[in-house]
A and B are shown apart, each in its own frame.
Chain A
Amino acid sequence: MNDRDDIEAGTLRVWALRLFVMTRKELLQLKRDVPLLLFLIYSFSLSVYISGAGISMQLNNASLLVHDGDHSASSRELIHRFRPPYFRFDGEVEDQKVGVQRLDQGTAMLLLDIPPRFHESIVGREPVSVQLQVDTTNAPQGLSAAAYAARIVGEFSFDLASFRLGGASGGLMDMPRVESAHRVWYNQNQDETWFQSISHILRMITLFAFLLPAAALVREKEHGTVEQLLVSPVTPFQIMLSKVLAMTLVILAATALAMASVLKPVFGVPIKGSAPLFFLMTALYSFTTAGLGLFAATVARNQAQVGMMALLGISPMLLLSGIATPFEAMPPWVQTLMALSPLRYFVDVTYGILLKGVGFDVLWDSMLAMALLGGTMFGLGMWRFRRQLE
């Protein structure tokens, strides 16, 4: 009803002027909030660097203990193959029990147990096994440590075998063997900082796109200013849209800051695709997430409640949308549920544009999904906002 009245009362110019003064007001208010601004800048600069440089999913520096019951050339050769940066050799233990104790204490991650007569068995062409005990309390690290160790032992065994065969017939050529020759795409140096720093930016965009407009709206509710706006010719649509517009601008600027100050100069992340397209998509994603935030703000009574809702609403999104864990590895029902998470699509879009260099032709479905979700959330927020007045 309000929009029709607007047209009666003035023109499109007045409508745009209202939106403009409201948006400018939001930006002014943000400018005055120095602690929040500092937090914003930190989140999109130093914090991105810390995450990129600090978070690593790869196996690194895992502490290895050895109980060597053999002390032979072969045992030394095997131990020697557990090399940095993946493993750190932390010495031998005399007693196997002491080793297990160290695992319990958490001061060692792997315990390699080489039986007596290890060398003899190898020389005597008997099969022999070594025992590896792994602490998998940190499951991903433990599992990859176990996998790496298994591969090292396997290669050791293969080398022994080929040495023997080679010793007999003069080469490896006769041996049947399948080798995996993989080519690495998109991140040729397999630089993990790329993935981690971009993931962090996505996390920060999500957080701020949700919180900034939501907090701004709830603050107006708390201070009673929203009442003043409602009796003025500003429509609920303009009130909400101005917040989204202002905060989207801020988030775009912050994202640009992160790219220019950390991503490119420090980690050397390439932007393979179109930068304007990426920023356009970031704006779309901000709008979508802001819709969610504004919806929460119409339910919440104060800023503390908005904070709680952010925790509740955003945490699963951040954890399950594919930046913390591979999306495909999740149970089907989680995957279905996450179809509702706009972040799930934005992850595809971001990596697609930044690292793969793909464009609209490949990503259109993700974009459409984001736009639909955003429109729905924003509409729901509007509906709640209007209903609240009753």
Chain B
Amino acid sequence: MKEIGAADSSQHSALSSQHFDAIVKVSGFVKRYKKHVAVDGVDLTVRKGEIYGLIGPDGSGKSSLMKAIAGVLTYDGGAVEVFGTKVDSERAAERIKPKLGFLPQGLGLNLYPELSIEENIDFFAHLRLVPAKDLIERKARLLAMTRLERFRDRAMKHLSGGMKQKLGLICTLIHEPELAILDEPTTGVDPVSRREFWLILANLIQEKGMTVLVSTAYMDEAERFHRLSFLSGGKVLASGMPTEVQALVPGSMVTFEATPQLEAIARLKKSFRQVESLGPLLHVFTGTADQSEARLQIEAALGDLVPAAVRVDQPELEDVFVALLLRNNEHKETSGRPPTSAAAHNHDGVAIEAEGLIREFGTFRAVDGVSFQVKQGEIFGLLGANGAGKTTVIKMLNGILLPTAGAGLVAGADMRTAAGTIKQRIGYMSQAFSLYLDLTVEENIRLFAGIYGLDKRSMTKRYQWIVTMAGLSGYESSLTGQLPMGVRQRLALGCALVHSPRVLFLDEPTSGVDPIGRRHFWEILSKLAREEGVAILITTHYMSEAEHCDNLALMYAGRIVAEGSPADMKRQVEKEAGRLFEVVADQPGKALVYLQQAGFHGAALFGTKLHIFCRDPVRDKACACRALEESGLHVTSVSERPLSLEDVFVYRVMSLEQAERVPGQEVAV
């Protein structure tokens, strides 16, 4: 909980060339809502020209802090200083407001749905008294940069999530503020749009020397920030540059295969706190940075089970955050092992079979010939941007929507003719968790038990099972609305499982849940699949979660464009595009331009680092280094990075978009 960044950041070259003016200075910040303490003594300094990230789950206090800095929320303790002005009164807040732009949380919440893109921009510009000449010039530039110019007459309500967020950004920046405060700008936006958003932001900072304070709930976005604070429960758990935060928890991630997996997990859990199963792989965080030592520790813990395909990596920031959270012991939720159902389940057989599914809405074909198969005991991930057709596929398989053509078999019932039977046999959990917030935990479970027609005896039995499985004991008579998101999520899962379904549909089930809650949730899902043979079909925006799936299908414009296991999909991309390398160089903004000129079209900026694809590692690496050094930039390091599923997703969608970029074809949902 100490502020490391301020002390030793001078050694890092990327920022040291710039001056250290503090744009925002927060000390001992406290915010209470009635008795609830939302933020409890936070210190923070944002310097000119940096992207400062606030990372943390819902309810960690990010929004309160950002609103107070933007001068739109009063606070109860500490001091907030922006541009050297103490923000302690309405008048002081008015003084700083012309120099800052604030994008509140929520997709397009600051925009006017009935107005067109251009009208929205004009409105914000007029509000900020932007001179007409500047407006025309800036509008043109920003619209071009965000690739929205084709849609300038389209009403905001007809835009997709990613487009709305880009428009929100334009409206926030149209008066060229010195400080932009962006509250979760990428939440609920698909990976491609998210990456594009960061790119635009990085370019703007390069161009205008703007300072950005931004928050996110996606842990994997942390490395895009120059410096960051990790918040949990209103306190700062760690802050500094990504590398500094990483250094707080030394350790390594060991990834390997071991069979039988369940037995291996049980053994590993005795020695390690962070054990995850990713499909056939196991992912374990060891407390030692020495890689061979880490390997030995794993082998010792496994005993006579021999690990195969072992890989040892540096831990990702997300692993570090989880370790920090565990170290602070904030999570005392204990979940018992879900008692395995007595009934022997059939682990073989096909649970879901979709064949040539087509669904049309008027002339628009939302789903176009989708076929796939999910076996009992398999976790199947359906990925895709908003509007790619995922939800429509799920609705058809659930029997709420009839397909225009094609056939499907779910839990042994034909979705065309036996929708009622399907509903009886499947469990479903949606993004909103779909619980009644004004009912208690027990009342929610009993409601769904009644809906599925459970009799008293099986209800009592199942109730106990759910409470144990989801770690809900102690919460039974709490109102659902007052539960932490992670608990709410597990309750929703429990309600979806009340009738012991053989097939489970999960539609973006982990939004807004902290990383530990998410891991806990995945642990339950793995057990359901492995031990009880439940087939699970899941959609998610978190690409790091997709790693947990056995098989994936990526949807684009209603079609499945890639499928296979996570490892397969990565291999396919590596074959086509090459391997991923991380370049650390001076002036990353300029470096990006030079790399692109040198032919690295997929080059992307991640905070102070650059990512490039290399088909021929040796030749391309040399080529990249030469391009940079010839332009007078110093290259600190070039190292290979494992490809993430997000890289796969973005690569696939971008190449498809480029292949069929015909004006007026973009589908907004």
Quote the shortest CB–CB distance from B264 to chain A (angstroms): 35
Q: Which of A8, A29, A232 lies in contact with B421, CB distance below 8 A?
A: A8
**Cβ-defined contact, B421 with A33, below 8 A:** no
In the assembled complex, how far is the CB of residue A389 from the closest CB belonging to chain B, in whole angstroms? 6
Q: Which of A24, A25, A233 contacts B452 (CB 8 A)?
A: A233
Contact, CB under 8 Å: A233 / B431? no
Known contacts being A8-B421, A227-B434, A233-B420, is A28 close to B439, with CB within 8 Å?
A: yes
CB pair B434–A232 under 8 Å, yes or no, is no
Is there contact, CB below 8 Å, between A21 and B450? Answer: yes
Could you tell me the distance in whole angstroms from the C-beta of B499 to the nearest C-beta in chain A?
A: 9
A29 x B453 contact (CB < 8 A): no
Find out whether the CB atom of B452 lies under 8 angstroms from the CB atom of A231: no
Distance in angstroms between the alpha carbons of A29 and B447 in the assembled complex: 12
- The answer to whether A5 touches B434 (Cβ under 8 A) is no
- A233/B430 in contact, CB under 8 A: no
Q: Are A5 and B418 in contact (CB under 8 A)?
A: yes
Give which listed residue, A8, A10, A24, A33, contacts B438 with CB less than 8 A: A33
- A232–B423 contact, CB under 8 A? yes
Per-residue A-contact encoding for B385-404, CB less than 8 Å = 1, 0 else: 00000000000001111000
Q: How far is the CB of A176 from chain B (nearest CB, A)?
A: 75
Does B430 contact A227, Cβ atoms closer than 8 Å?
Answer: yes
Which of A1, A29, A234 contacts B436 (CB under 8 A)? A29
- Residues 431-446 of B contacting A (Cβ, < 8 Å): 431-432, 434-439, 443, 446
Nearest chain B residue, comparing its CB with the CB of A227 = B430
Interface string of B408-441 (1 = CB under 8 A from A): 0000000000111101101011111011111100
Give the nearest-CB partner of A4 in chain B. Answer: B420
Instruction: Mark interface residues in B579-594 (1 if CB within 8 Å of A CB, else 0).
Output: 0000000000000000
The complex places the Cα of A2 from the Cα of B435 at a distance, in Å, of: 23
**Which chain B residues border A28 with CB–CB below 8 Å?**
438-439, 443
Task: Tell me if A144 counts as interface (CB < 8 A to partner B).
Answer: no
With an 8 A cutoff between CB atoms, is A384 at the interface? no
Q: Which residues of B contact A234 (CB under 8 A)?
A: 451
* Stretch with Cβ within 8 A of B (4 or more), from A12-20, A73-81, A111-119, A177-185: A12-20
- In angstroms, Cα B432 to Cα A133, docked, is 68
Q: Is the CB of B398 within 8 A of A231?
A: yes
B475 cross-chain contacts in A, Cβ below 8 A: none
Chain A residues with Cβ below 8 Å from B522 are none
B426 x A231 contact (CB < 8 A):
yes
CA distance A4 to B447 in the complex (A): 23
Q: Shortest distance in angstroms between A385's beta carbon and chain B's nearest beta carbon?
A: 12
The reply to whether A233 and B424 contact each other, CB–CB distance below 8 Å, is: yes
Contact A228 B421, beta carbon cutoff 8 Å? no
Contacting residues of chain A (187-236) with chain B, CB-CB under 8 angstroms? 223-225, 227-234
Contact A32 B438, CB 8 Å, known A232-B448, A233-B423? yes
Contact B400 A231 (CB under 8 A): yes
Tell whether A70 is near chain B: CB-to-CB under 8 Å: no
**Candidates A4, A14, A225; contact of B453 at CB < 8 Å:** A14
Contact B400 A389 (CB under 8 A): yes
Q: What is the minimal beta-carbon distance from A88 to any residue of chain B, in angstroms? A: 53
Question: Which A residues lie within 8 Å of B435 (CB)?
Answer: 225
Q: What's the minimum C-beta distance from B63 to chain A, rounded to whole angstroms?
A: 21
> At the interface, yes or no: A22 with Cβ under 8 Å from chain B?
yes
Q: Of A2, A18, A231, which contacts B428 at CB under 8 A?
A: A231
User: With the chains together, A113 CA to B210 CA distance in Å?
Assistant: 82
Residues of A within 8 A of B426 (CB): 231
Chain A contacts for B479, CB-based, 8 A = 32
| Cβ-neighbour of B450 out of A20, A230, A231 (below 8 A) | A20
Assess whether A329 is interfacial by the CB under 8 Å rule.
Answer: no
Within 8 A of B (CB), among A33-68: 33
Query: For residue B443, which residues in chain A have a CB less than 8 angstroms away from its CB?
Result: 25, 28
A6 interface residue, CB < 8 Å from B?
yes
Rounded to whole Å, the gap between the CB of B503 and the closest CB of chain A is: 12
A390 touches B (CB below 8 Å): yes
Q: How far is the CA of A276 from the CA of B199 in the complex (A)?
A: 71
Quick check: is A312 within 8 A (CB to CB) of the other chain? Answer: no
Determine if A175 is an interface residue (Cβ-Cβ < 8 Å).
no
Q: Are A21 and B436 in contact (CB under 8 A)?
A: no
CB distance from B440 to the nearest CB of A (A): 9
Which of B420, B451, B453 makes the CB contact (< 8 A) with A2? B420
Interface presence of A9 (CB below 8 A) = yes
CB distance from A4 to the nearest CB of B (A): 7
Partner of B430, one of A8, A21, A33, A224: A224
Q: Which of B401, B428, B432, B452 contacts A223 (CB 8 A)?
A: B432
- Which residues of the partner chain A approach B399 to less than 8 Å between Cβ atoms? 231
Q: Are A225 and B436 interface neighbours, CB within 8 A?
A: yes
Assess the A21–B447 pair: CB atoms within 8 A: yes
In the complex, what distance in Å separates the CA atom of A8 from the CA atom of B421? 8
Whether B420 and A25, one on each chain, are in contact in the complex, defined by CB atoms closer than 8 angstroms, is no
Which of A2, A24, A25, A230 has the most B CB atoms < 10 Å from its CB? A25
| With A18-B451, A21-B451: A228-B428 Cβ-Cβ less than 8 Å | yes
Q: Are B421 and A21 in contact (CB under 8 A)?
A: no
**Is B420 a contact of A231 with CB atoms below 8 Å?**
no
In the complex where A28-B443, A224-B434, A231-B400 touch, is A9 in contact with B428 (Cβ < 8 A)?
no
CB nearest neighbor in A for B507:
A227
Say whether B434 contacts A228, CB under 8 Å: yes
Q: Is the CB of B420 within 8 A of A8?
A: yes
CB-nearest residue of chain A to B437: A223
Which residues from A are CB-within-8-Å of B429? 228
Give B74-113 as 1s and 0s: 1 = Cβ < 8 Å from A's Cβ atoms: 0000000000000000000000000000000000000000
The answer to whether A29 touches B423, judged by C-beta atoms less than 8 angstroms apart, is no
CB pairs A–B below 8 angstroms (20 shown): A9-B420, A9-B421, A9-B453, A14-B453, A25-B447, A29-B439, A32-B439, A32-B479, A223-B432, A223-B434, A225-B432, A225-B434, A225-B436, A227-B430, A228-B429, A231-B400, A232-B428, A233-B423, A233-B424, A389-B400
Q: Other than the known A6-B420, A22-B451, A231-B400, what 19 A-B pairs have Cβ atoms closer than 8 Å? A: A2-B419, A2-B420, A4-B420, A5-B420, A5-B423, A8-B420, A10-B453, A18-B450, A18-B451, A21-B446, A21-B447, A28-B438, A29-B439, A223-B434, A225-B435, A227-B432, A228-B430, A232-B423, A232-B452
Would you list the 10 A-B pairs with minimal beta carbon distance, nearest first? A5-B420, A21-B450, A228-B434, A224-B432, A14-B453, A231-B428, A32-B438, A231-B398, A233-B423, A225-B434
